[in-house]
Structure 1
Amino acid sequence: MAFLSEDLFEKFRTLVYEASGISFTETNRAVLESRVKDRLRTRGISTPEEYYREVSSSEEELREFLDVVTTNLTRFFRNQGHWETFRHAVIPDLVERKRAQGVRSLLVWSAGCSTGEEPYTIAMVLSEHLPPGFSFLVVGSDISLSSLLVAKEGFYTDARVEGVPEHYLAKYFEKKENGYRVRDELRTRVQFDYHNLKHQSDLRDVDVVFCRNVLIYFDEAAQKATIQGLWNVMAPYSYLFIGHSESLFGMNTGFEFVKTEWGTVYRKNVTQ
């Protein structure tokens, strides 16, 4: 017998969807039910009916609930093809365009950054491959406050830094007991902030957006709204990275699909 009645499951999934755009169906119902159980134990509440009354009437508890609902799977240098594309195709193109405009800075947004591995990877690659005289800022955002606290601290266990090339590890991390901490020189170039992708970001003229493995949790309507929100903050001829299992196929977005020898990316085509 299901932990949540059909009526209560519908209420919880509607609450989550309206607050975040994250869509739960029968396929991933068990995940939602397990997260409700977690909050019942944490809050000392005996029934899901009672918890629904609380979470639907308290903004603070809703934020906590969305935090535990969010799946925070990430790692440094995840999907090597994307990083090779970023290094060999995206950065050179942006540098050339910026020089033509007399600009020497880049703004990159890691949307759905989880515990920070992706934005720190972005910062390391930019530090290594931007030409002298160029500066950058990486903004990482997420709906999970607990993940953002980890990201801001910048400390990762030995297991979490597996996959970081040795020269990056030596240059950008300090060895600590049981792990590594991102050096201050890199941390100052990465900012973290809470952001719900259901709402419009205050960022403007973003040169590159990484929004990987986020759209898979949204239904079609929420996906389209999210992509439009990203488009609105991106600069002309900027780039969008999404997950390998995600696609903009069939969406009327204005983004053009760019295939490189290392991987694929989307570019904001302002002529459309």
Structure 2
Amino acid sequence: MNAAGATISPRAIRAILVDDESLLRQHLRERLERHPEIVIVGEADNVQSAAELVAVTRPEIIFLDVQMPPDNGFDLLPLLEGMDPVPAVVFVTAFDRYAQRAFDVHALDYLTKPVHPERLAQTVERLKRAVSQRGAGVAASPTLVPHLVPETPLEAADLVPLQEGGNLRFVEAGRIAAAQSQGDYTRILAAGGKPVLIKSTLSHWEARLPVGLFSRISRRLLINCQQIQQVSRLDREKTQVFFIDIAEPLTLSRIEFRRLRGSF
């Protein structure tokens, strides 16, 4: 638990960050620096320390991660029920499958890591409206909870969390070389590591990856042409594509290779 001791303007909105990954807390902290109306009064890396931090700092907003093994961010919510007023919660997680549950518990908003600046700005505006309504004596209710809006595309420099077994690594979106559909999963090839299988559809990745970098060369495959290092024809029907800082090549069909050439 880390509580800040700086003097806070009476008009500032007090916030805490709860995430077990210090790098991601830093990433969000830097994003929030663009919004001086939000003042971070503390940080925590698990549910228990977050509950203690809330009691000490009395924040108006909690930016809360979901998966913090062995904890779950939703476990914090019952511990907030005795507070008056109860702080608003914005879930910040790498997994979009929690969006419906976040909405069900009346979270103010739900952000997908890495947090996009424009998307965060929308959340801050909602928070300001909610705080204003509370100050005017408007009672909190499910009808005040905004509809969740789709995530905006990533920028090339944004960090994308990739889970590899028990390890979590972060890769710039622009260094993702390819996304390959495998049913309800997507296989991600990114510089500096092995391919990662993620439970998310290719359509989801197509909507999130940086605009202009990726070409959809078939129903199953997105390729970042800027990450191609070498192309090698195996025969008339098959071509191998090698990427920068990735050991494993992709094998393309004749039609896929033709579409790839057309995307340059």
TM-score under structure 2 length normalisation: 0.24
Structure (1 or 2) with the larger CA radius of gyration: 2
Which structure carries more helix by proportion? Answer: 1
Q: Which has the higher contact order (CA 8 A, sep 6+)?
A: 1
Which structure carries more strand by proportion? Answer: 2
